[in-house]
Amino acid sequence: MTFFDAALWDGKVFTGDWTTSSGGSTEIVEKATGTVLGRTGVADAGDVALAAAAAAEAQRAWAATSFEERAAVLRRAGALIEANAAELRDWVVRETGAVPGLGDFAVGVATQECYEAAGLAHRPAGEILQSNQPRLSLLKRVPVGVVGVISPFNVPLILSIRSVAPALALGNAVVLKPDLRTPVSGGLAIARVFAEAGLPPGLLHVLPGGAEVGSALVTEPAIRVVSFTGSSATGRRVAELAARHLKRVHLELGGNSALVVLDDADLERAVSAGAWGSFLHQGQICMTAGRHLVHERIADDYVAALAEHADHLPVGDPFTGQVALGPLVDEGQRDKVHALVTATVDAGARLAAGGKHEGLFYRPTVLDEVRTDMPAYAEEVFGPVAPVVRFGSVDEAVSLAADSSYGLSLSILTGDAMRGLALAERIPSGIVHINDQTVNDEAVAPFGGVLDSGTGARFGGAGNLDAFTEQRWITLRGDIPAYPF
């Protein structure tokens, strides 16, 4: 049996042990070929209630363990991911359609998330506060209790473990709902790692499921904090539901990130960065460069070179071939991408490359002569599509880049880095990269967007402390004071 053998979760969910779920089971499908890789249990709302109750019970003892014990579990989890990296990468590739390089990246980030979380357990538990009374005044951080995590299909390993690992390290229990299309790399593999790492039973529950399970997780009274990653539309519904239950929620949502190419940028490198930013993982990344804003003096050359890049990128099965792009996640996503491309061309854009698909394999696409009101520019495509809009001045570039309901990642490519930094100050965005493309991620860095892209940066050390602990005010006096009555 391999470390991540599908027999472990055949028709089951993880609730401290591999347990048959109440909602039946479904196939785990390789996106490129349709091959059935295994089966997973499908949770229902009743499973959420049972898991949350068990998690709340187990969490009290976990919170009382020493920080050394919790840190040791996280370190062992990181080491197990490293030791089984190739096998886990293959699950990521086959289950999500990622190319192997992206699979390796996801596994590497997951490893670092565990190690960073281990360090988080060592952080000071609070601070001494000033007081105008003769007493010791303290702020102490305590675990929130049970954390609910809802993760999406696109890069599920990273987007699950970046919440699971710090929440556990800080003394919480977790109920995790991965997307049904990616239950292994989104959750079941993580459960396998933590079980082997010595995490006590009952602290991590993995419940693959649909919208019913997500709603139950948000409304479950025992779950006090929800970490959601997904679309902005679904994020709004999660936030509304959580608000009715006075529940804290952290939202990492969609994006339509601008890649701004100034006229002094190195054209060849700018084109390469633009291609990577739009076509990596078939554009199925929240930080994907969804809008290419290019100075009019170099725009014709940029479009021609970007289209040439797109035409020469191989598309196919990433598990068996040397390809740059794999499949989209399913037919629904493919049809959405193609509808946006077709509507944009029908509205007057020029198709410079791509715009075609075979099965789930969508060719990298370049759209020129795009207006800001066209669908593939105005909306998040979540596919390998690069719409290009020209600008004539820096002020116009600022106006175009800022004219979006999203604010996740921003790229500015220029021969003058300080000029780029000054430009970025004028554009709302949670993440900014000067002379790099929009898709970047590190376990040590804060991550999050503004506006419709989410509720701000959370990840990274201090962000995770704020997300997964409560602040408790404690005072101590030597004697009870005398009061007037």
| pLDDT, tens digit (0-9, with 9 covering 90-100), for 380-423 | 999 999 999 999 999 999 999 999 999 999 999 999 999 999 99
Does pLDDT of 469 surpass 90? yes
The one-character DSSP state at 328 is -
Examine the residue annotation and report whether 252 is marked as an active-site residue of this protein: yes
Catalytic residue among 252, 379, 380, 425: 252
Q: State residue 373's pLDDT score.
A: 95
Q: State residue 23's pLDDT score.
A: 86
Residues with Cβ within 8 Å of 279's Cβ and at least 6 positions away in sequence, in order, are 310, 313, 324, 325, 364, 384, 386
Examine the residue annotation and report whether 308 is marked as an active-site residue of this protein: no
Burial 195-205 (b: 16+ CB within 10 A, else e): bebebbebbbb
Q: State residue 462's pLDDT score.
A: 80
Q: Which two tokens stand for residue 157?
A: 């390993």
Q: What is the mean pLDDT of the chain?
A: 95
User: How confident is the model over 12-38, as a mean pLDDT?
Assistant: 93
User: How confident is the model over 92-97, as a mean pLDDT?
Assistant: 97
Q: Please, is 123 exposed, middle or buried when counting C-beta atoms within 10 Å of its C-beta (0-12, 13-18, 19+)? A: middle
Q: Which residue type sits at 396?
A: E
Catalytic residue among 95, 116, 286, 380: 286
Q: State residue 459's pLDDT score.
A: 67
Task: Convert the pLDDT of each residue in 349-374 to its tens digit.
Answer: 999 999 999 999 999 999 999 999 99
Confidence of residue 457 (pLDDT cuts 50, 70, 90): low
Residues with Cβ within 8 Å of 233's Cβ and at least 6 positions away in sequence, in order, are none
Task: Convert the pLDDT of each residue in 167-183 to its tens digit.
Answer: 999 999 999 999 999 99
Task: Convert the pLDDT of each residue in 200-223 to its tens digit.
Answer: 999 999 999 999 999 999 999 999
User: How confident is the model over 140-147, as a mean pLDDT?
Assistant: 97
Q: Which two tokens stand for residue 25?
A: 């089971």
Of residues 404, 388, 396, 389, the one with CA closest to residue 423: 396
User: How confident is the model over 151-178, as a mean pLDDT?
Assistant: 97
Does pLDDT of 3 surpass 80? yes
Q: State residue 22's pLDDT score.
A: 81
Looking at the chain, the whole-number percentage of residues with pLDDT higher than 70 is: 99
Confidence of residue 304 (pLDDT cuts 50, 70, 90): very high
